[in-house]
Structure 1
Amino acid sequence: MYATDPAISDDNSAFAGNVPDSFRYKDAMVLKRTDRNLSLKIGRVVDMMVAIAVLLAVLPVLALLCCATWLQDGANPIFVHRRIGLGGRSFPCLKIRTMVRDADARLRHLLETDPAAAAEWTRDQKLRCDPRITPFGAFLRKSSLDELPQLLNVIAGHMSLVGPRPIVQGEVARYGRYFRHYCLVRPGITGLWQVSGRNDTSYRRRVAIDTVYSRSKTVLGDLAIIGRTVPALMLSRGSY
């Protein structure tokens, strides 16, 4: 079960300053601590069993989505991006491509010519109205179906079903000293951040949420987050 943990705000004044009271005592619902190694081992077994079962069940859907993406422009439907995982190690994170072919070039041009977009990107590392996203890609993002290939990352041991969102190297500096907490667990397909507003959440709050989760991870807590993921997906809350 979840339990609030005032120690999150008491044992580190700098961290407490980054977490609103409503988050510390209501939204976060910090998990009770258990032996970390045992929790990680049990969690890994659960991850493998569930990921393999789900992947087998959704393979036809995944194939159809990849075909539909390829038919848009003939480009590779799978997008591979280096992300930071357990222990600070880099891994190839898989997603169904949701953007146009020349997404990087378009982003550079946009940030050079649109000060408002540049400010939003600097603040959140996201764009609410991202012109690089294709119409079909917008549907995939809204439904989170673009993340189905990450089941392969879970099976390979790069990711977990539940954990912090995998970050890129350029985001490490934004975590500051709390990056060490991020590195304690595998990043996840879903997580506490995703069920707490996703992209509607500020980046500073995201760092706080990831830190709370990594310091308090348990198998039962992960199951509770998975349970909260279903209604969050149905509402498409914070997804863009």
Structure 2
Amino acid sequence: MDIFAINFVTYYIGDVNFFNLHFLSYIMLLWFVTSYFSGFYKVYRFTNVLRIITLSVRQFLIFTLGYFAYFGIFREGIVINNQLLILISILLGVTFFKFLGFFLLKQYRSLGKNYRTTVVLGFDDSSKKVIKIFKSKANLGYKFLGFFSSRTYKNPDFLGTTKECFEFIKNNEVDEVYCSLTEINESQIKELKKFTNERNIILKLIPNSNELYSKNQDIEFYDNTLVVLNVKKLPFEFAENFYIKRIFDVVFSLCVCVLILSWLIPILWILVKLESKGPLIFKQPREGLNGEHFVCYKFRSMKINLLSDKVHATKNDTRVTKVGAFLRKTSIDELPQFVNVLLGDMSVVGPRPHLESLSIEYQKEVEDYLKRHIVKPGITGLAQVSGYRGEIKKKSDIKNRIRLDIFYIENWSFFLDIKIIIKTLFNVFEGEEKAY
């Protein structure tokens, strides 16, 4: 709606200095960039009007600076009419849609639509305030199912003890869990956090108002009076991070396919065919996002054998051809996986995809193994550039890999991906000891 407002204003005023591809491209890109960094669209169902005004003022100030910068950079020395008219019209149009959408959505939620189902763990003073807000503020869009407590209450909203909450959540559609920090201990919070993460349920902690908490915690205010601590989200739970990573994956993979694979494939087809019979491309089912299977592509580096889908290559493996040994040593055999990236099965950087048979085995040995499935597998990863690649000789090898995979998922950033890619390139040129 904001982009529509920007385009409509320039069209309606009809000034050719503004209603042209050059200006509109600049102004829309400026809007996207400034709104991302100002957090303009970080508006939630509990966000109040004052917060909307604060976000708008911040966004408009930054946008205005970028708006006038256009004329200084591209139209220096030229008198342009309607500058202020266009700017004020854009800001008024955006403000109109912002508040119109905000109030209409609240009205829609007050009718019982677009709600989120919630349960509360605890029945202390802070928990009662949360429950009161859920019941009295219908326009927030929360459907309160009931509460759990270590004590028994003769209350129609009482659903059972805190231990019984897990079974209830399994059997009912619950979107958010609010937990009082005075109700359960630290180990129980960890158990609850793991439980909600596995089911994609939002967990929020209700602090004791008399206690102080770390400034690194995400604090939210409900109805301007109640403080709620929001459990830190993983980087890929933010949509903007997902799109940043996907755009980079597509651009980077296209460059590799066009600049490298286009001429490398014919050469390798001849070399691989001369040494052993079989196709150039080796296809193998691997586990990807959410544990779903996909076909992983590699340049064939082994003789055709029946164990290729069951057993990883080991040192001095007789199945590996001479050309294949070079391909593995330089990691060239992995290059076809950039096609997997373009198809959306993989990412350039991420946890390496495993065979299903090995994945089942590793799940028994590593507690948080399945957590690595919440992101797409990668051609390279933090574990690989940290020395954990190749043959699994002992349990600590796979545990260290998973530990680094999970660290990557929880601490992802665009620059971490770049750092891993650069480290991978250095490893390729230096040669890796475990690349066999």
Q: TM-score, normalised by structure 2?
A: 0.42
Task: Read off the aligned partner of 1:52 and give its amino acid letter.
Answer: L
Q: 1:96 aligns with which of 285, 296, 299?
A: 299
- Residue 103 of structure 1: how far off its partner (Å): 4.9
Q: 2:344 aligns with which of 157, 176, 184?
A: 157
**Residues 1:205 and 2:423 aligned together:** no
Q: 1:91 to 1:150 in 2, by over 3 A?
A: same
User: Which protein has the bigger strand share?
Assistant: 2
Distance 2:303 2:278 in 1: 9
Q: 1:40 aligns with which of 219, 224, 242?
A: 242
* Higher relative contact order structure (alpha carbons within 8 Å, sequence separation ≥ 6): 1
Distance 2:305 2:355 in 1: 19
Q: 1:145 to 1:35 in 2, by over 3 A?
A: closer
Is the CA contact 2:235–2:410 (under 8 Å) kept in the aligned structure 1? no
Deviations 1:158-188 (A, max 9, x none): 0011011111111223044423311111111
Q: Which runs of 5+ in 2 are unaligned?
A: 1-189, 192-233
Distance 1:148 1:156 in 2: 14
1:53 matched to which residue of 2?
Answer: 255
- Residue 74 of structure 1: how far off its partner (Å): 3.0
User: Which protein has the bigger helix share?
Assistant: 1
Q: Which runs of 5+ in 1 are unaligned?
A: 1-10, 13-32, 109-120
**Moved runs in structure 1, 4+ residues, more than 4 A?**
none
Q: 1:133 to 1:93 in 2, by over 3 A?
A: same
RMSD (Å), alpha carbons: 2.4
1:190 matched to which residue of 2?
Answer: 380
Q: 1:49 to 1:130 in 2, by over 3 A?
A: same
**Residues 1:67 and 2:270 aligned together:** yes
Residue identity (%) = 32
Is the CA contact 1:66–1:96 (under 8 Å) kept in the aligned structure 2? no
1:115 matched to which residue of 2?
Answer: none
Deviations 1:61-94 (A, max 9, x none): 1221122112222311110000011111100000
Distance 1:204 1:35 in 2: 23
Is the CA contact 1:93–1:150 (under 8 Å) kept in the aligned structure 2? yes
Is the CA contact 1:181–1:215 (under 8 Å) kept in the aligned structure 2? no
Distance 2:266 2:407 in 1: 36
1:137 matched to which residue of 2?
Answer: 324
| Matching of residues 76-115 of structure 1 within 5 Å | 76-104=279-307
Aligned residues: 195
Distance 2:258 2:267 in 1: 14
Distance 1:216 1:171 in 2: 26
Distance 1:35 1:130 in 2: 38
- Residue 101 of structure 1: how far off its partner (Å): 1.3
Distance 2:266 2:349 in 1: 24
Distance 1:205 1:170 in 2: 19
1:116 matched to which residue of 2?
Answer: none
Distance 2:272 2:321 in 1: 9
Distance 2:326 2:301 in 1: 9
